[in-house]
Amino acid sequence: MQELQIREGAEEFELGSGPTGALLVHGFTGSPRSMRGLGEHLAAAGLSVRGVRLPGHGTTWQDLNSKKAEDWSGAVDKEFANFASGHDELFVVALSFGGALALDLAARNPGKIAGLVLLAPFVLTKDPLRFLAPVMPKLIKSLPGVGNDICLEGQDELCYDKLPTVAAAHMLKYCKNVRAELPKVTAPLLVMHSRNDHTSPPASSQFINDNVGSTDKELVWLDRSYHVITMDHDRDDVFRRTQEFIQKRSTGGLT
């Protein structure tokens, strides 16, 4: 089978060097582009950064419609194992559905993650269409896209303009399982979410904060952005808080 071409700018990336690593995970229908600016900031602060590209992303929405939850979680598992092997400690920073993948990873690997930073994490939705998710793929293969929910003009996370219904059904079922796993998550946790998010409800972050097993945790609310807070008006605050969280919990002597 011919390998699909990755869209220019949607490639995975590696930046910086050092004993402390930060694994960056983008969201559903998005691409590593959404995490690139944050990655560059963390690399400049002395971290070794890896931005992953989830299977089915950065190519075509039809490609994503052929993937399942085990493809995405398996890719994150592999990236984590490979990246962790070359570093003294590893933090995971994730956006949107990437947050669900990061929480699942942390729940299954207690003590192996130095800290989690979740940005507008998606683990639940209040969209009425969620009740039709199991049957929707039999009726239609895609819906209008939900990406690029960004208040700041001129930004593009290189997402799909369609929401693949088959993949979305797998994603929502996976999120339900992740919600049940939250008490197993004990890693230090920072969650940031905009009150004006149109894609992931703020209730998602509140639910995470209320149900994780972590005792070292903080929930920060933002007001000037929409969903993709790494590319919106609050991005400088997001970058700074992420860096400070990692610095305070790192044993690698970051400055």
Say whether 198 is catalytic.
no
Contact (Cβ atoms closer than 8 angstroms) between residue 222 and residue 193: yes
The sign of the dihedral angle between the CA atoms of 224, 194, 52, 161 is negative
The three-state (H, E, C) secondary structure of 125-150, written as one string: CCCHHHHHCCCHHHHCCEEECCCCCC
Say whether 225 is catalytic.
no
Residue with tokens 């992420």: 242
Per annotation, catalytic residue among 96, 142, 194, 250 = 96
Number of other CB atoms surrounding residue 210 within 10 Å = 11
Distances (CA, A) of 176 to 165, 181, 182: 17, 9, 11
Cα 26 from Cα 129, distance rounded (Å): 23
Per annotation, catalytic residue among 149, 197, 232, 234 = 197
Task: Name the residues annotated as catalytic.
Answer: 96, 197, 227
